[in-house]
């Protein structure tokens, strides 16, 4: 599924972006001001805290950046270990991490859940980066907006309207995921994470079945 051409692959990427927006909102609500997927924002805040010599507070963004990087490392190792089943494996591992995060947030030690969220989001980026790096990562909008600007500039020459709409849809998917995640968090709390968990499980299982049917 993730390696196939449009429209299946594009639809999957949009869903992953929406999931990332949802998860980031949950993480923002749990940490108060930090992101579990937007490491540029965390890095900027880290720089501010270090400049103000607020070293104790700086531990949070440092930890989130390290955990996110660890998630990307884990995702890469999963790809190397699973070969042609890598796409399904990544989706299922991400679902498992988010399920554990949901469980952790409901315990007396919610930081356990917070720790797992950036790991899941770091891993999520490998889903698209493993396809040659042609798509922006799945947990930030900056890459999509830059590609959108480039596509608009080249419209009518080397760029098709389809490309412009694709990058615009990526940004809108992240926005929609954030909005729906915020609404869900207000009504359900951390239980809203079970929605992306279910979506990832479904995608992973479908991709696993399709992979088995493809010739070697």
The candidate with the shortest Cα–Cα distance to 170, out of 35, 19, 2, is: 19
Are the beta carbons of 2 and 131 closer than 8 angstroms? yes
Burial (Cβ within 10 Å: 0-12, 13-18, ≥19) of residue 184:
buried
Query: Using the 8-state DSSP alphabet, how is residue 216 labeled?
Result: -
Question: Distance between CA 194 and CA 108 in Å, rounded?
Answer: 19
Are the beta carbons of 44 and 35 closer than 8 angstroms? no
Q: What is the pLDDT of residues 16-34, one digit of tens each?
A: 999 999 999 999 999 988 9
* Domain map (residue ranges) of the chain: 9-210
φ, ψ dihedrals at 77, nearest 5°: -65, -35
pLDDT at 91: 95
Half-sphere exposure (CA, 13 Å, Cβ side) for 171? 14
pLDDT at 138: 58
Q: What is the pLDDT of residues 32-53, one digit of tens each?
A: 889 999 898 999 999 999 999 9
For residue 159, list its beta bridge partners. 155
pLDDT at 189: 93
* Stated pTM of the model: 0.88
pLDDT for residue 134 is more than 60:
no
φ, ψ dihedrals at 32, nearest 5°: 95, -40
What is the three-state SS of 178-206?
Answer: HHHHHHHHHHHHHHHHHHHHHHHHHHHHH
pLDDT at 173: 93
- Which pLDDT band holds residue 5 (cuts at 50, 70, 90)? very low
CATH number of 9-210: 1.20.1250
- Residues 6 or more apart whose Cβ sits within 8 Å of residue 34: 27, 28, 41, 42, 45, 60, 61, 64
Are the beta carbons of 2 and 87 closer than 8 angstroms? yes
Mean pLDDT of 148-170: 88
Angle at 18 (CA atoms; ends 119, 66), nearest 5 degrees: 20
Are the beta carbons of 162 and 107 closer than 8 angstroms? no
pLDDT for residue 131 is more than 50:
no
Q: What is the mean pLDDT of the chain?
A: 88
Q: What is the pLDDT of residues 53-62, one digit of tens each?
A: 999 999 999 9
Where helices occur in 32-54 by DSSP H, the ranges are 39-51
Q: What is the DSSP track for 100-156? A: HHHHHHTSS-THHHHHHHHHHHHHHHHHHHTTTT-S--TT-SHHHHHHHHHHHHTBT
Q: What is the pLDDT of residues 90-130, one digit of tens each?
A: 999 999 999 999 999 998 888 999 999 999 999 998 876 65
């Amino acid at each position: 599924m993730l390696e196939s051409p449009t429209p299946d692959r594009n639809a999957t990427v949009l869903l992953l972006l929406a999931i990332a927006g949802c998860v980031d909102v949950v993480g923002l609500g749990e940490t108060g001001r930090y992101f579990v997927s937007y490491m540029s924002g965390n890095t900027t805040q880290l720089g501010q805290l270090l400049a103000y010599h607020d070293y104790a507070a700086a531990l949070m963004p440092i930890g989130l950046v390290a955990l996110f990087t660890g998630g990307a490392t884990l995702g890469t190792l999963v790809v190397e270990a699973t070969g042609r089943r890598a796409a399904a494996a990544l989706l299922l591992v991400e679902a498992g991490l988010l399920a554990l995060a949901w469980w952790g947030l409901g315990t007396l030690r919610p930081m356990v859940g917070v720790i797992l969220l950036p790991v899941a989001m770091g891993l999520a980026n490998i889903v698209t980066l493993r396809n040659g790096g042609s798509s922006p990562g799945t947990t930030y909008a900056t890459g999509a907006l830059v590609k959108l600007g480039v596509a608009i500039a080249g419209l009518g020459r080397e760029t098709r309207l389809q490309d412009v709409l694709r990058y615009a849809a990526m940004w809108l998917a992240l926005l929609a995921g954030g909005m729906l995640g915020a609404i869900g968090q207000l009504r359900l709390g951390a239980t809203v994470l079970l929605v992306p968990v279910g979506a990832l499980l479904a995608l992973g299982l479908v991709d696993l079945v399709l992979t088995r049917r493809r010739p070697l």
